[in-house]
A and B are shown apart, each in its own frame.
Chain A
Amino acid sequence: MRFLLGTFLPLSFKTYGIAFIVMVTLFFGLASWFTLNKIHSTQIEIERNSQRAASAEVAQALLQLTKELEQVAHALTAWDETRQQLSDPAYYDYWRINRALQGGVVPDFVKSVALYNRQGHPLGTVSPDMPAMVDELSPTRVTKQGGRDFIYLTQPVQDMEVRGQISGYAVLKIDFQPALLSVQRFRYVDSASIVLSLREGETIQSDLDGRVLFNVIPNEEISALLKFMTRYQYQIMFIVLLLSWVFYAALAVLLSKPLLRLSKHIDTLRDGRDGLVLDSLDGRFLVKELEKVRISLNDYQRELESMHTSLDQKNTELWTMAHRDPLTGIFNRRCFDEDWRMLLSVASGHRVAVSVMLFDCDHFKAINDTYGHQAGDQVLKSIAQVLQLTLRSGDRLYRLGGDEFVTMFLDADIRRVEEVAKRCVEAVDQYDFSLLGIKEPIRISIGLAYAEGVHTENLMSLQKQADVAMYFAKRPGHGKIALYSEDMAIDGNALLSNQVTNAVFEAMSSGSCLEMYYQPVVNLDTREIEYYEALVRIRHDQELIMPAEIFPVVEGRRLEAEMDFAIMGKVLEDLRNGRIPLGSGLSVNISGPAIVHPRIGERLAEFEPFLKDYKLVLEITETALITQLQQASANLNLLRAAGFKVALDDFGSGYSSLGYLANMPVDIVKFDITLIHSLEHGDERQGSIVASLATMIRKAGYFIVAEGLENQRMLRNAGRLGFSHGQGHFLGRPSRLA
Chain B
Amino acid sequence: MQGLQRVQDFLVLLVFLAAPVVASADTVEIRFSPGLVGVADYRAGKAELPAVLLLHGFLQTRNSPPMSRLADALSDAGYPVLVPTLTLGVSRRNKSLSCEAVHKHTLPDDLQEVSQWLNWLANHGYKKVVMIGHSSGSKDVLAYLVDKPGVLVERAILVGITPIEVDAEQHRKARAEKPAMSGQMPPLGRFTVAYCKNNYVATVPAYLSYADWTGDVIANALGKIKVPVDVVLGTKDQVISPTWRGQLEKSRVPLTLIENAGHFFDGEHEFELNDRVLEILKKKHR
Contact = CB atoms under 8 A, between A and B. Distances in A.
A81 B35 CA distance: 13
A161 interface: yes
A99 B101 contact: yes
B91 A87 contact: yes
Nearest to A87: B35
Contacts of B188: 91, 94
A88 B206 CA distance: 15
| Residue of A81, A90, A102, A160 contacting most chain B CB atoms (<10 Å) | A81
B152 interface: no
Interface in B85-100: 89-95, 97-98, 100
Interface string B5-39: 00000000000000000000000000100011100
Contacts of B89: 84, 88
Given A88-B104, A90-B185, A91-B104, A160 B92 contact: yes
B130 interface: no
A80 interface: yes
A404 B68 CA distance: 165
A84 B31 CA distance: 15
Contact of B104 (A90, A99, A103): A90
Nearest to A167: B35
A83 B102 CA distance: 12
Nearest to B10: A161
Contact of B36 (A85, A87, A95, A99): A87
Nearest to A79: B95
A526 interface: no
A88 B92 CA distance: 14
B140 to A, nearest CB: 20
B18 to A, nearest CB: 26
Nearest to B89: A84
B34 to A, nearest CB: 8
Contact of B101 (A81, A87, A160): A81
B198 to A, nearest CB: 14
B31 A161 contact: yes
Interface in B134-152: none
Contacts of A99: 98, 100-102
B201 interface: yes
B37 A161 contact: yes
Nearest to A84: B90
A434 interface: no
Contacts of A88: 35, 89, 104
Nearest to A92: B102
Interface in A57-88: 80-81, 83-85, 87-88
A98 interface: yes
Contacts of B95: 80
A84 B104 CA distance: 10
Contacts of A102: 100
Nearest to B202: A91
A268 to B, nearest CB: 111
A88 B203 CA distance: 14
A43 B28 CA distance: 67
A84 B102 CA distance: 9
Given A94-B201, A95-B102, A160-B92, A80 B97 contact: yes
A80 B35 CA distance: 12
A418 B236 CA distance: 161
B37 A83 contact: no
Interface string A11-51: 00000000000000000000000000000000000000000
A237 B201 CA distance: 77
A622 to B, nearest CB: 177
Nearest to A103: B98
Contacts of A87: 35-36, 91
Contact of B100 (A80, A90, A103, A160): A103
Contact of B102 (A81, A160, A161): A81
A329 to B, nearest CB: 145
Given A83-B90, A160-B91, A161-B31, A91 B102 contact: yes
B106 to A, nearest CB: 13
A216 to B, nearest CB: 44
A102 B98 CA distance: 11
A139 to B, nearest CB: 29
Contacts of B90: 80-81, 83-84
A106 to B, nearest CB: 14
A586 B92 CA distance: 200
B100 to A, nearest CB: 6
Nearest to A91: B102
A100 to B, nearest CB: 11
Nearest to A161: B37
Given A91-B104, A94-B188, A94-B201, A161 B35 contact: yes
B37 A84 contact: no
A68 B54 CA distance: 38
Contacts of A84: 89-91, 101-102
A98 B201 CA distance: 11
B91 A83 contact: yes
| Residue of B31, B35, B37 contacting most chain A CB atoms (<10 Å) | B35
Contacts of B104: 88, 90-91
Contacts of A94: 102, 188, 201
Interface in A133-186: 160-161
Interface string B129-169: 00000000000000000000000000000000000000000
| Residue of B91, B93, B185, B188 contacting most chain A CB atoms (<10 Å) | B91
A132 to B, nearest CB: 24
B185 A80 contact: no
A98 B185 CA distance: 19
Q: Return the 5 tightest CB-CB contacts between A and B, nearest first.
A: A87-B35, A80-B90, A91-B102, A84-B90, A80-B93
Given A90-B185, A94-B201, 15 more contacts: A80-B90, A80-B101, A81-B101, A83-B92, A85-B102, A88-B104, A90-B102, A90-B104, A91-B102, A91-B188, A95-B102, A103-B101, A160-B37, A161-B37, A161-B91
11 contacts: A80-B101, A81-B102, A83-B91, A84-B101, A85-B102, A91-B104, A94-B188, A99-B101, A103-B101, A161-B35, A161-B91
Interface of A: 80-81, 83-85, 87-88, 90-91, 94-95, 98-99, 102-103, 160-161
Interface of B: 31, 35-37, 89-95, 97-98, 100-102, 104, 185, 188, 201
